[in-house]
Amino acid sequence: MHRPEIHYIGGMKRLVVRKEVDLPSARVQIAQFNNPAPTESTFRADDVFWIDICLTPRRPKDRGRYVDHWNPHRFVPLGSIIAFPPGETLCLRTVGGRRSSLICQLRAAAVRKWLDPDFHFTDRRLEVCLDIANTTIRGLLLRLARELHSPGVASTELAESITLQLSIELARHLAEVSGSDETGGLAPWRLRIIEKRLVEPGPPPSLRELAVLCKLSARQLTRAFRKSRGCSIADYMTQTRTEVAKRRLATHESIKEIAASMGFSSQSTFTYAFRRNTGVTPNQFRTRLLRGGERMMERT
């Protein structure tokens, strides 16, 4: 794959590439970002989907804005997985500190071949790209991360097959989002209610509870949410609660306390759920944070 053309317009982040592999359809890297102070950076990648999964906790106050589409005051939170579309100029605000990410610079043509000819990035689709809540995409990215960390037999061929799957799943995810900004999705106030409820302590809400909060039937909520976010409520809930757990594991709070406050019946149940969603146990995740110098005292 040829080197993608990436333009850093200002405030370039301090990035150190720890692992890297070049594939026919993508460049995959494990990188560490280190911003000692709050930073604003602007960049554009012309011929790739820049997919980033944060392997350490994403800071809750990290924000993004599409320079050519949104007003200067509209910044939205970044999810643990982001997929910047090619050719879009992005302004990113971070509170600073260290974080590690797997970056997959996926050739744009590899994704576009699976999209309808009339597909275009509406405002809603652009916003969804800043928070990809999709368990299949998450699993593929984590599998790539493991392959870079510990390559085995036919590692390059396996990594290429994973990126090809990733291009299809990303196209499917984007196609799930309504092509219209006016109809079919949830109103912003309903999305805010759901997001606020998901980060509250205790067990996760039921679909019925969220439907009542949004003043909709469960069926209406399910359909509208998928059109707004391109994923199911269950997938979005899993990703949001995983990020809450990751941020709390970056504090001095015990794993047992975290499990109890998040509504898990036992520490072992929490460990199983966390490992299923991240590929590592809570204790392994915390150890990696400490080894990398990560210590984030922010709480949701």
- pLDDT < 70 regions, the chain: 1-14, 179-184, 291-300
Q: Note down the domain range covering 213.
A: 188-291
In residues, how long is the chain? 300
CA 69 – CA 88 distance, rounded (Å): 9
The pLDDT value recorded for residue 96 is: 77
Same domain (yes/no): 227, 278: yes
Q: Of 153, 176, 199, which residue sits at a domain end?
A: 176
Same domain (yes/no): 130, 12: yes
When divided into structural domains, the chain yields a total of: 2
CATH number at residue 270: 1.10.10.60
Instruction: Name the residue among 118, 117, 129 with its Cα closest to residue 70.
Output: 129
The pLDDT value recorded for residue 255 is: 94
102, 107, 131 from 47: Cα distances, Å = 19, 6, 20
- Dihedral sign from CA coordinates of 97, 101, 105, 106: negative
Same domain (yes/no): 202, 287: yes
Tokens of 165: 């799957």
Same domain (yes/no): 197, 108: no
Contact 294, 56 (CB under 8 A): yes
* Tokens 């405002």 -> residue: 123
Instruction: Give the torsion through C-alpha atoms of 231, 235, 239, 240, to 10 deg.
Output: 80
Tokens of 281: 């146990």
Q: What is the pLDDT of residues 102-154, one digit of tens each?
A: 999 999 999 999 999 999 999 989 999 999 989 899 999 999 999 998 898 99
The pLDDT value recorded for residue 88 is: 93
CATH number at residue 61: 2.60.120.10
The pLDDT value recorded for residue 179 is: 65
CA 300 – CA 297 distance, rounded (Å): 10
The pLDDT value recorded for residue 147 is: 92
Domain presence at residue 182: no
